[in-house]
Amino acid sequence: MVDLASLSVASEGITLAPQTQARILKQMSQFLDWCVGEGELTANPWEALKVKDRPEVHPHGVLTDEQVSLLLSAKDRLLHSALLFGLLTGMRSGEICGLMAEDITAKGNLGRFVSIKPNAVRLLKSKAAEREVPLHGVLEGLLDTVLPKSGRLFPYLTVDKVVKRYAKLRQRHPELHRTVFHSTRKWFITQCERTGVPEHFTATLVGHHSARSANKLTYGLYSAGISDAQKREIVEGVRVPQA
């Protein structure tokens, strides 16, 4: 506690953005609520705390085709294959880092699919994030030539390493300003929109909750969702720009 107090005094002039404050407050409040539920506290002492300033969201940019070409032509030793997975499946970095060779299944003439689900390496952001995605032909080529045949597909990657490595790429190539690894996911979704894919189809592929009708009833409760063949057609419609 003495060390924390000293750190607080030394850092008094540093302020956190309202968005960061809100995130920390939410996480700490969840922990304190858990403490109350476990009987360690009688009440959450932070319950009445609020973030004074309104959080401002500054979204990262969507990659342009020129930036995608630049990223792929760089052929980064650590990130190249992961970047291709992000661009051609719309997966989050944590989902990519946790991929296992055992998650890949072959479906005859429909090609190979990857099952994104919680495992020993990572959890998922939400229930909607659990899904099955067809692998683009480019990714099937990686599986056959580069990636491990068992265990983790990216054993050397963590989300932290992905973030830091992309930051180095951004320093090396100023043209990537305002983009992050998550921008690959935005690029994939943009390609789906530009080729006329219905929004709820794209939501199925990228693991977003989908309001497929005004009252969320007919499709949400009664439909089994889009077919594997429809998923395959969407993914194969995405074209990686050439340098």
Clarify whether residues 180 and 224 are in a common domain: yes
Query: Alpha carbon of 110 to those of 44, 131, 138, 147, 231: distances in Å?
Result: 52, 16, 15, 21, 10
Q: Which residue has the tokens 């055992």?
A: 102
Give the total number of structural domains in the chain.
2
The CATH number covering residue 147 comes to: 1.10.443.10
Q: Enter the pTM of the model.
A: 0.74
Q: Report if residue 38 sits inside a domain.
A: yes
197 and 100 assigned to the same domain: yes
CB 228 within 8 A of CB 111: no
- 110 with 18, same domain: the answer is no
99 in any annotated domain: yes
Domain shared by 15 and 70, yes or no: no
- Whether residue 201 sits in one domain with residue 181: yes
Can you give the residue range of the structural domain that contains 110?
65-236
User: In this structure, what DSSP letter does residue 135 have?
Assistant: P
- Supply the pLDDT for residue 57: 60
Residues 70 and 105 in one domain: yes
C-alpha dist (Å) from residue 209 to 88, 125, 204, 223 = 20, 11, 8, 14
Question: Residue 242 falls within a domain, yes or no?
Answer: no
The rounded distance, in Å, linking the Cα atoms of 208 and 221 is 16
pLDDT tens-digit profile, the chain (243 residues):
889 888 888 888 877 778 888 888 889 999 999 999 999 999 999 888 888 877 666 667 889 999 999 999 999 999 999 999 999 999 999 999 999 999 999 999 999 999 998 887 777 767 768 899 999 999 999 999 999 999 999 999 999 999 999 999 999 999 999 899 999 999 999 999 998 988 888 888 988 876 455 455 455 555 567 888 999 999 988 888 865
Please tell me whether residues 75 and 3 are part of one structural domain. Answer: no
- 106 falls within a domain: yes
Please give the torsion angle defined by the CA atoms of residues 111, 130, 145 and 184, in that order, rounded to the nearest 10 degrees.
Answer: 110
Tokens 């403490």 sit on residue: 35
| Residues 15 and 78 both lie in one domain | no
Pair 121, 188 in one domain: yes
Identify whether residues 42 and 121 lie together within a single domain: no
DSSP string over 192-234: HHHTT--HHHHHHHHT-----STTS-HHHHH-----HHHHHHH
User: Is residue 178 domain-shared with residue 218, that is, in the same domain?
Assistant: yes
pLDDT number for residue 55: 63
Give yes or no: residues 183 and 208 share one domain: yes
